[in-house]
Amino acid sequence: MTYIGTSLPISSGTPKASGSLAYTGDMKLDRMLHAKLLLSPHPHAKIKSIDTAKAAAVPGVIAIFSHENTPATYYNSALWIAEQDFVPDERLFSPVVRFVGDRVAAVVAADEATAEHAAALIEVDYEELPAVFDIEEAFAARNVSRDPETLPIYENPISDMTVEYGNTDEAFARAHLVVEDRVKTPKTHHCAIENHVCLAVAERDGSITVHTPCQSVFAVKFIVAKALSLPDDRIRVIKAPTGGSFGGKSEPVLEPLCAFFSRVTKRPVMLQLDRYGSIVSTRTRNAAVGRVKTAFDKDGKILARDIQAIGDAGAYRSGGNMVVGAMARRLGRLYKIGNQRFRGWSVYTNTPIGGAYRGYGSSQIHAITEINLEHAARRLGMDPVELRLKNLVEPFDDDPAGGPSVGNARIIECVKEGAEAFDWKNKRNRPRGDGRRKRGVGMSCATHGNGHFGAYPENAAATLSLRDDGGLHLVSPLHDLGCGTVTIMRQIVAEAVGASPEMVAVPEADTGTCAFDPGSRASRVTYIVGECAQEASLMLKAKILEVAALAFNSSPDDLTLKDNQIRSNYGGDRRMSLRELAGFARQRSPEDISVTHHFKPRANPGSYAACFVEVEVDTLTGLTRVMDVLAVHDIGQPINLTLAEGQVHGGIHMGIGYALLEDLDIDPDTGQTKGNSLSRYQVLNAPEMPRVQVLFVESKETTGPYGGKALGEVATVPMAPAIVNAVNHALGTELTELPLTPERVVAGLVEQDELDQA
């Protein structure tokens, strides 16, 4: 293969490096206005009155919006297919605010400073209502309608699901050992460096164009249409360059607002959140609490597992229930477990809203289950790697929970290769130290999906055309979030057609020109859209060769298309460039050199990873340093090696944050987000990033493009549990509440000391 597996530099590298690439917030349109939001200071309150007189009097203020003058239509921002029937509970502005950071009003003005200044002058009279912040407290307040006057009824739990197979109770009864844990994972912020932003333009013909760094232009279109009660065809959504998303920009949060503002003011409106707004007022990772019980036989074989998990949807439903569902879908795909029961709930709390976030349920469920396995290994007297090897799935195993086959699952290789490369046995058996600083090693396995097949409708569409200049043009709604999707597609098309990547143009998604696609979610893009693009490319290549056959006066089978050129397999000097072919076709052939291909997958294999980590814990300050990381991934064939490694590096960074640093940290008395700025919500910085080695096991998943599988989400999933396991190994503790802040580590050590002395 010429391009697959190489390190072609990212397509947009030069404009990004030179600063010339215009992100949404850099766009400047004629007569553009700026909107700023007023956010709620209360966790739950009725808005009794809003006085905008002072704000309206500020010169430069064009309009002020609140629940009083915006549509009362409810929607659910997690929707991505128009017909999806998710319970709608969000509107542009609500008369009842449900969390600190909820939207109260907006000022649209000539410039940002004026809008901000005026927003602060809006006077709101609130009647405070009781609020709940803690997941388990919210769960206990079941089926209590806390605000019967508003629709829909605001009651808990939002969802209640059970997945069960085999005979769990019977298996527990005969177990040699049962290990039980309660694990808590935090509400976290995506922390893309680009804050949330949207630009909406009311066009002269009455339609609205929305520019947004989103993950699904069609989701934006459907939600905007719904919220504004407009027909679909009056809205066009264009994907703008994204300054990072990680799921945070997956749900249309700002777009319905911005579109409405533009429609009313009849001018382009830019809505850019500041960091506070991005942290509290967009979406977060669902916090979770999980209780897991695992039954083992005396050899460490898992006989059964019973999990109860509650996900924190936050103040609005969004896809809270779907995240819990996603947690359940992993359960039969990593280890061979004959009997399993999962009971999962999603609850409302008066806290920032949970939504899509890289990992989507996998991060939470793997934290719960992989930490439990470390503790089990300890009690069984087994090495954690040995325990994994005894139980991991093998290639083409079925999913006993009813999901699709796991496909070419190479997790066993990941663990074996990783353990060897990491020198696991020696490091694990090394003395941890009697002094202040203790070292430990931990590991974790993880799996994540490849698209929606098996859970939701899944399809992709691509139109690939040969241009007159000999280049190739791929139209498929792509949403490059910075990970290099566009580059990957260029490589796949180039490889399949026989062109070079720089001849392949891959514009990003635009509802004006693309057929429907669910967008960048569920780790579907490389695996499904890539496969669709590969198939389309092969079809286009066949068409090209058919036309070329006319020019060469031979059969298409006698021709080769490579490096943008067609030649005969039987030698001879004759070459025809794609450009020449395009010209030839224009004149001679009735065929349009273009294909439109619809692809429906019939598989959803697992992507797999194992992470090995060494940490050093300062038992006095409680600070944990991650010293060394080895990540081994089974993603079939990496399409672009540098981009793939980059995903793993970034995923590791995020996993370290999840394990040690990051937490919105809701104040239990006020419901305020304590981690509401980057000085308080700290992510890993350059001095603290550990050494990392990334390995990809050699294998191919035949259902994916060139054997490739998804990487973007699984890249982060195993990291946090591996770190927690390493810390617990170092200290001999069983800490299970993430993040392992210095305070929690110290509290754990103090408790351990007291127990030792007792």
Return the residues of window 409-448 that contact another protein according to CB under 8 A: 430-439
Per CB under 8 A, the segment of 75-83, 88-96, 114-122, 500-508 that binds another protein is 114-122
How far, CA to CA in Å, does 312 sit from each of 163, 186, 322, 549, 659? 19, 10, 12, 61, 18
Note whether 243 binds another protein by CB under 8 A: yes
What is d(CA 725, CA 370) in angstroms, rounded to the nearest whole number? 8
- As measured in angstroms, the least distance from the Cβ of 252 to another protein is 20
Q: What CA–CA distance (Å, rounded) separates 649 from 658?
A: 14
Residue 202 CA to residue 29 CA, distance in Å, equals 12
For residues 196 to 215, the per-residue mask of contacts with another protein, x marking binding by CB under 8 A and - elsewhere, is --------------------
| Contact positions with another protein (CB under 8 A) in 339-368 | none
Q: Report the 10 Å Cβ neighbour count for 702.
A: 11
Instruction: Please state, in angstroms and rounded to a whole number, the distance separating the CA atoms of residues 105 and 124.
Output: 10
Under the binding rule (CB under 8 A), the answer on residue 649 touching another protein is: yes
Considering only residues 26 to 55 of the shown chain, the ones binding another protein according to CB under 8 A are: 26, 28
DSSP 8-state secondary structure symbol assigned to residue 299: T
Cβ 5 to another protein shortest distance, Å:
15
Size of the site for another protein (CB under 8 A): 89
Q: Among 113-121, 230-238, 442-450, 540-548, which window interacts with another protein (CB under 8 A)?
A: 113-121
Task: Note whether 548 binds another protein by CB under 8 A.
Answer: no
Interface with another protein, residue 484, by CB under 8 A = yes
Q: Which of 94, 242, 391, 534 is in the footprint of another protein by CB under 8 A?
A: 242
Q: Output the smallest distance, CB 212 to another protein, in A.
A: 15
Among 280, 356, 632, 684, interactor with another protein by CB under 8 A: 684
Quick check: 134 binds another protein (CB under 8 A)? no
Q: CB atoms < 10 A from the CB of 75, how many?
A: 22
Give the shortest CB-334-to-another protein separation in angstroms: 24
Q: Extract the tokens encoding 394.
A: 């093998």
Q: Is 17 exposed, middle or buried (0-12, 13-18, 19+ CB in 10 A)?
A: exposed
Nearer to another protein, 565 or 682 (CB): 682
Binding of another protein at residue 620 (CB under 8 A)? yes
12 near another protein, judged by CB under 8 A: yes
Please give the sequence-ordered ranges of beta strands (E in DSSP) within 245-389, or none if there are none.
Answer: 269-272, 284-285, 288-296, 302-314, 339-348, 354-355
Closer to another protein by Cβ: residue 173 or 421: 421
Most distant pair of Cα atoms in the chain: their distance: 92
Token pair 């400073």: residue:
113
The alpha carbon of 88 is separated from its chain's Cα centroid by a whole number of angstroms, namely: 22
Q: Which residue, 455 or 678, is less far from another protein as judged by CB?
A: 678
Contact segment (CB under 8 A) with another protein among 138-146, 446-454, 590-598, 638-646 equals 638-646
Please pick, from the candidates 129, 692, 700, 752, the single residue that binds another protein as defined by CB under 8 A: 692
587 in contact with another protein (CB under 8 A)? no
256 by Cβ neighbours in 10 Å (0-12 / 13-18 / 19+) ranks as buried
Is 241 near another protein (CB under 8 A)? yes
**Site for another protein contains 623 (CB under 8 A):** yes
Which range in 386-394, 408-416, 441-449, 477-485 contacts another protein by CB under 8 A? 477-485
Residue 313, classed as helix, strand or coil, is strand
187 lies in the binding site for another protein (CB under 8 A): no
Enumerate residues 6+ apart whose C-beta is below 8 A from 491: 3, 4, 6, 8, 501, 639, 640
CA-wise closest residue to 257 among 239, 273, 234, 279: 273
Asked if residues 652 and 675 have their Cβ atoms less than 8 Å apart, the reply is: no
C-alpha 43, offset from chain centre = 27
Task: Compute how many other C-beta atoms are within 10 angstroms of the C-beta atom of residue 247.
Answer: 22
Please select the residue that binds another protein; options are 184, 234, 275, 336, rule is CB under 8 A.
Answer: 275
CB of 15 to another protein, least distance (A): 8
Question: Where does this chain touch another protein (CB under 8 A) — which range of 218-226, 228-236, 241-249, 260-268?
Answer: 241-249
